[in-house]
Amino acid sequence: MWISLRRNSPTANPKSGRAFRWGWCLALAAALWLAFALTALAEGPVRILRQEERYAFSESLTFTLQAESDLPIMDVILFYGREGTRLVRRIYPAFTPGTKVAVTHTEELERGQYAPGTLMRTWWQLELQDGSTFKTPVHTFEYTDDHQDWRTLTSEKVIVHYYGRSQTLAETLLQRAEEAITRLGEEIGVSVERPVHIYLYASQQDMQAALPVRSEGFDSRVLTLGVAVSEDTLLLLGTHSDVEQTLAHEISHLIVGMATDNPYTELPRWLDEGLAMYAEGSLPLDNRRALERAIRDDRLLSIRSMSSYSGQVSQVDLFYGQAYSVVDFLLREYGREKMKALLDVFAQGALQEDALRQVYGFGLDELDALWRQSLGLPPRRPSATPTPAASLPLLDALREAWRALPHLLPGGAE
């Protein structure tokens, strides 16, 4: 700006010269004020000498602080959490009080505890001898799988992260993801609220470090082709032949999760997995065979038992086949609008029994009977030990207490 003023023509209006001098004076005054403010900050009650964060992916987070003060620093608290949420961890690390302190805290992580690409935030709070407190600047950093040299492809609704020679596959999956999102909107009525991140791995070994731990037996016997690891992030094994089908499945989890996110309850597994299987298109052969065999032998799992995962590897194919069948039944018999209404009710934190009755007019056991009837099977025999009537008020009280619980918890330390 100043250079352009100096190059004005000699015949320019004399007021422009005065304007330049005034501008110079104002700029100089601003610079002097900024220098004074920074000096005052450096000479304040607490001076931060070092504040940094490091991580070893899926192993640990390390936070370091060095500070000095005119008064002894008597207490130090570390805060950290995911950016965009109010929930933070509060750590009281060991240190030696004094006018100069050096604190390092290492937080051990479980495998897959945080998804690749998670934006973290952290700060420290120091208490001085006179009882006053000082809060350090909030630092943010990206926690990601730094074992790979990631590149990205981006569209309006999808971001694909890939490495190595996977660009062609990444381009294909970007297109398939867009198609799956469009299909979910048209057939089920749910849409994307923020971009979906897809991390495309070139081998099972590469992806292992990013996968959440389930159990040694399960992990050793089941090959994970894809999994949603946060509200907007999924991992995909790019070398498997079913990668495009897996993509559609996991995209459904993310989008339905966004549409029904609430602090009270999660979707029952039969509905969440059923919608994801439906998003794939036709039912895979192994799931179809398991479903047909269970129908033939009248050995179907009850929908109530499918509210959570079985945990038995031998029932995996049947579980997913049944989940697809139940959702397909609801969509065929009652339509897309009812399904959208059901998801809207779940988004308010309703329990599955209440949500079903509000939208469809029947509960879980009635749904089980209607679904079985559509498959040519009789209703199940009633349970030999019905729930005692006296316990129902207690269940209602527990539900209300659970709904109120998030309002009683502190939302963070800011």
β-strands 226-228, 98-108 pairing: unpaired
Task: Name the least confident of 122-136, 215-229, 350-364.
Answer: 215-229
- Asked if residue 339 and residue 315 are part of one domain, the reply reads yes
pLDDT (0 to 100) of residue 242: 86
Residue 120 within a domain: yes
pLDDT at 360 over 80: yes
Segments forming the whole domain that contains residue 109: 46-143
What is the share, in percent, of the chain residues with pLDDT greater than 70? Answer: 79
Domain boundary among 226, 261, 296: 261
Q: Give the CATH number for residue 222.
A: 3.40.30.160
Q: Is 30 left (phi over 0), alpha (psi -120 to 50) or beta?
A: alpha
pTM over the 0.75 mark: no
Say whether both 316 and 377 belong to one domain: yes
Judge if 247 and 271 occupy the same domain: no
Residue 389 lies in a domain: no
Helix, strand, coil percentages (3-state) for the chain, rounded to 5, are 45, 20, 35
pLDDT in tens, 379-404: 887 754 333 333 334 434 444 444 44
| pLDDT given at position 311 | 67
Q: Which range among 27-41, 125-139, 142-156, 253-267 shows the weakest confidence by mean pLDDT?
A: 27-41
Question: What pLDDT does 241 receive?
Answer: 86
The better pLDDT of the pair 349, 408 is held by 349
With 50 as the cut, is the pLDDT of residue 144 above it?
A: yes
Question: What sign results for the dihedral spanned by CA atoms 372, 373, 375, 379?
Answer: positive
Q: Is residue 41 part of a domain?
A: no
Higher pLDDT, 371 or 410: 371
Rounded to whole angstroms, how far apart are CA atoms 105 and 94? Answer: 8
173/124 same-domain check: no
Mean pLDDT of the chain: 82
Are residues 282 and 333 part of one domain?
yes
9 vs 2: CA distance, rounded Å: 14
Exposure of 136 in the CB half-sphere (CA atoms within 13 A): 27
- Residue bearing tokens 């700006």: 1
CATH code (residue 86)? 2.60.40.10
* Residue finishing a domain among 143, 170, 204: 143
Looking at the fold, whether 57 and 129 belong to one and the same domain comes out as yes
Mean pLDDT of 323-341: 95
| Average pLDDT for 273-295 | 93
- pLDDT (average), residues 261-282: 91
Q: Which of 229, 261, 293 is the last residue of a domain?
A: 261
The widest CA-to-CA distance across the chain, in whole angstroms, is 104
- Do both 270 and 322 map to the same domain? yes
Is 36 inside a domain boundary? no
- Is the pLDDT score of 48 beyond 70? yes
Nearest residue to 203 (alpha-carbon basis) of 164, 151, 230: 164
- Categorize the per-residue pLDDT at 139 as very low, low, confident or very high, splitting at 50, 70 and 90: very high
Q: Are 176 and 96 within one domain?
A: no
φ and ψ at 359, to 5 degrees?
-95, -45
Which one has a higher pLDDT value, 414 or 261? 261
Whether residue 310 lies inside any domain: the answer is: yes
Distances (CA, A) of 351 to 265, 323, 342, 390: 7, 18, 11, 20
Nearest Cα to Cα of residue 267 among 330, 346, 192: 346
Token digits of residue 324 = 């697809």
112 in the same domain as 174 = no
Whether the predicted pLDDT of 355 surpasses 90? yes
- Work out the pLDDT band at 97, boundaries 50, 70, 90: very high
Supply the pLDDT for residue 161. Answer: 97
Do 89 and 197 sit in the same domain of this protein? no
Q: Which pLDDT score is estimated for 49? A: 97
Does residue 269 sit in the same domain as residue 311? yes
164 shares a domain with 139: no
What single DSSP character describes residue 314? G
pLDDT confidence of residue 192: 84
Residue 162 in any domain: the answer is yes
Domain assignment present for residue 397? The answer is no
Residue 51 has pLDDT above 70, yes or no: yes
Residue 240 lies in a domain: yes
User: Number of structural domains, the chain?
Assistant: 3
Per-residue pLDDT tens digits for 158-175: 999 999 999 999 999 999
Q: Which pLDDT score is estimated for 174?
A: 95
End-to-end CA distance of the chain: 40
